Chains A and B, each alone.
Chain A
Amino acid sequence: MLLLIQYTLIFSSVLVLVALGGCISEHSGVINLGLEGIMVIGALGGALMMRFLGTSSAFVMVLLVMLAAMLFGVIYSSLLGVACINFKADQTLVGTALNLLGTAAATVFVKAINTAANPDDHSSEIEYVRARKMFIVNINGFEFNWFMLVAVLAVIFVAVMLYKTKFGLRLMACGEHPQAAASVGVSVYKMRWAGVLLSGALGGLGGICYILAGVSIWKFENGVAGFGFLALAVMIFGQWKPYRIALAALLFGLFRALSNTYVGFPALAALNLPGNVYNMMPYIVSLIVLAFTSKTSRAPKAEGIPYDKGSR
């Protein structure tokens, strides 16, 4: 049971971080379908830091790994910014390209690093057993991960930023009616860039959190198994509102955690279902949830439409 709570919380943290990223980006008017790829690149940044940083201080390690993941995420998301904000490209297409590119680029780089270190090593894996221990505080068998705290802080930070600050309200105006925002002197381009880069930072953070969630070795060929899209489903279920997103993430996190821990429940194990059924669960749940909640969608009105000064 403790294990289920632990996994639920850590997977919810991943979903919260990434979904908040998607939420900020969409409030500024850009649909960020590339979150999946941003997660992979963020995870790559963090994993490289864990591999090459030889510090014994847990605080330094946690801080630097998080910063590296955010930095990689921000840099990578700027590819989306350039294409979708400045060149008015199709946001769905570019997002998809970023997802494919993320996995391919991470695989190529990790393999190159491994092969350079040892000519016989052609794997795309990075191992971080020692570093992972620094992220975890063991409280009576419950493994508290610092990312759980970060996720809670992120929810509060994003909620305050969006609803209580001048910046946040302007950002949301650019997603609802950019021409109106521009008419009162808000720079739509700048706001959209801010939205995309912030989503990159949160997406990168979510990525490193995901690979630290349950394992100490990561194979970059696998990507992040649709988690970026699950986060978007969480965001839609949360109606683009930070606190609701947090609740939605808990629900989805629970179903994801079940696939890791169902063996430990006699009632579930007795059903004797194949493990794949549990693997499918989060995706099935999200489909059902989306079917019932999308009708009354509160999506930002101008999301997905490239900003054109001249149109009304």
Chain B
Amino acid sequence: MKKALKNPGVQAFVASIICIILGLLIGYIVLLFINPEGAAESIVNVIKNFLTWSRPNKKLQQFGNTLAKTMPLLMCSLSILFAYKVGLFNIGAAGQYVAGSCACLYAALAWGWGWLPCMIFALVAGAVLGAIVGFLKSRCNVNEVISGIMLNWISLYTANTLLTKVKEVASPYTMYIKDVNPSALLPNAGLDKLFNKNQYITIAVPLAMIIAIAVSILLSKTKLGYELKATGSNKNAAKYAGMAENRNIILTLVISGALAGLGAAMLYLTGYMRWECTQSSVPGMGFNGIAAAFLGGLNPIGAIFSSFFIQHITDGGQYVNTNFYSSQISDLISSVIIYLCGFVLFIKITMNNLLAKSEEKKSRALKVSEGGDK
């Protein structure tokens, strides 16, 4: 048991569980504070999400919806954790996601492209935005968080302007892909049958998981990954060792942006959602990606599970008792979880200290008992 607790992977897992429990607890307290009557039921519904449905078929279908939305979130969290491993905080993932949405929807609706070119176009759009942040960071020393935020807003307004050209006349939403250009919808490849014919389950699901594994391999097993991480931990040392540190920073943000842009295609090309051309805030997917990345212990495989969890409680928000509460309670819970992730380092250090102390005690007790024998 104690040996297992010393393993950094196990420690990260325990720390994440502590963050989740505390986050849910704080959410529960907020609900109690608003109205004690339905608080327990509502927080349980948030945790249960699709399990609140009683019919198994409906359950399966709702599970599919959550899974379909998990994939873009996973891509955003991969984008953020990849950049973070290289010492960059890519909060611009939200904007790169917007750029991807805009690119794939515009290509699908205005130009009638097929799904694969649309997807690649979204990837390129995200990568270009990432490249701008990377260029500003490496050449002009602009803090990537601030330039990222600025680009988030610029891309939001650009997307609103461009997508207005392909919106429905009577509503602020873009047209349905299935009516205008069905060839742009991602293929299901038979996966929809596993989820009670949920048409939103597409090849995006296995693709995102494969990319998560690929990112994991890239970071831990390749020369490029090693160089990128070295640049992240000390830019000057990396330069001294003959690595192109400026190129590495730009390359990191290009890959990171591409991941986020591709994530957008994985949602919008399923037809699950349409773009609202009058929206006045940047979609939360990129920001939730931060929560998922840190909750997953900054590990690509961990991100698969943490993304699902974050999406699970975000969807669960709609099952609260709306007579008293609002669905934003799940945004509150996930932001509390991000805040608590800041304490993960402290939790790990405390764990190690406790382990060291108990070991010391044991060895001392052992010595005393040996001394007693003599």
Asked if A93 is at the interface (CB within 8 A of a chain B CB), the reply is yes
Within 8 A of B (CB), among A210-235: 221-223, 225-226, 229, 232-233
Most chain B CB inside 10 Å of its own CB: which residue of A104, A109, A222, A223: A104
B150 touches A107 (CB 8 A): no
Asked if A283 is at the interface (CB within 8 A of a chain B CB), the reply is yes
A97 touches B280 (CB 8 A): no
Q: A100-B335, A108-B326 in contact; A290/B146 too (CB < 8 A)?
A: yes
B→A interface (CB under 8 Å): 30, 34-35, 89, 91, 136, 140-143, 145-147, 149-154, 157-158, 160-161, 280-281, 287, 290-291, 294, 322-326, 328-329, 331-332, 334-336, 338-339, 341-343, 345-346
- Chain B facing A: main interface SS: helix
Residues in A neighbouring B34, C-beta threshold 8 A: 108-109, 112, 116
Residues in B neighbouring A297, C-beta threshold 8 A: 141
20 contacts between A and B (CB under 8 A): A87-B343, A101-B332, A101-B336, A101-B338, A103-B331, A107-B328, A107-B331, A108-B325, A112-B325, A221-B281, A225-B153, A226-B150, A233-B146, A233-B150, A279-B157, A280-B158, A283-B150, A283-B154, A294-B140, A295-B140
Residues in B neighbouring A225, C-beta threshold 8 A: 153, 280-281
A287 touches B147 (CB 8 A): yes
B342 touches A294 (CB 8 A): no
Q: Closest chain A residue to B152 by CB distance?
A: A226
B154 touches A280 (CB 8 A): yes
Which of A97, A115, A274, A283 makes the CB contact (< 8 A) with B335? A97
Q: What's the minimum C-beta distance from B166 to chain A, rounded to whole angstroms?
A: 15
Asked if A308 is at the interface (CB within 8 A of a chain B CB), the reply is no
Asked if A59 is at the interface (CB within 8 A of a chain B CB), the reply is no
Residues in A neighbouring B338, C-beta threshold 8 A: 93, 96-97, 100-101
Q: Closest chain A residue to B337 by CB distance?
A: A97
Residues in A neighbouring B339, C-beta threshold 8 A: 79, 83, 94, 97-98, 101
> How distant is the Cα of A196 from the Cα of B38 in the complex, in angstroms?
37
Q: What's the minimum C-beta distance from B338 to chain A, rounded to whole angstroms?
A: 4
Most chain A CB inside 10 Å of its own CB: which residue of B140, B160, B345: B140
Report A80-118 CB contacts with B as 1/0, cut-off 8 Å: 000110011110111011101101110111011001100
Which 7 A-B residue pairs are closest in the complex by CB-CB distance?
A89-B342, A100-B335, A97-B339, A104-B331, A101-B335, A97-B338, A111-B326
A294 touches B154 (CB 8 A): no
Residues in A neighbouring B342, C-beta threshold 8 A: 83-84, 87, 89-90, 93-94, 97
A→B interface (CB under 8 Å): 33, 79, 83-84, 87-90, 92-94, 96-98, 100-101, 103-105, 107-109, 111-112, 115-116, 119, 122, 124, 221-223, 225-226, 229, 232-233, 236, 274, 276-277, 279-280, 283-284, 286-287, 290-292, 294-295, 297
> How distant is the Cα of A33 from the Cα of B148 in the complex, in angstroms?
13
Q: A87-B342, A297-B141 in contact; A291/B136 too (CB < 8 A)?
A: yes
A115 touches B149 (CB 8 A): no
> How distant is the Cα of A283 from the Cα of B95 in the complex, in angstroms?
13
Q: What's the minimum C-beta distance from A78 to chain B, rounded to whole angstroms?
A: 13
Q: What's the minimum C-beta distance from A284 to chain B, rounded to whole angstroms?
A: 6
Residues in B neighbouring A87, C-beta threshold 8 A: 342-343, 345-346
Q: A104-B331, A108-B332, A232-B146 in contact; A226/B326 too (CB < 8 A)?
A: no
> How distant is the Cα of A101 from the Cα of B151 in the complex, in angstroms?
21
Residues in B neighbouring A98, C-beta threshold 8 A: 339
A108 touches B30 (CB 8 A): yes
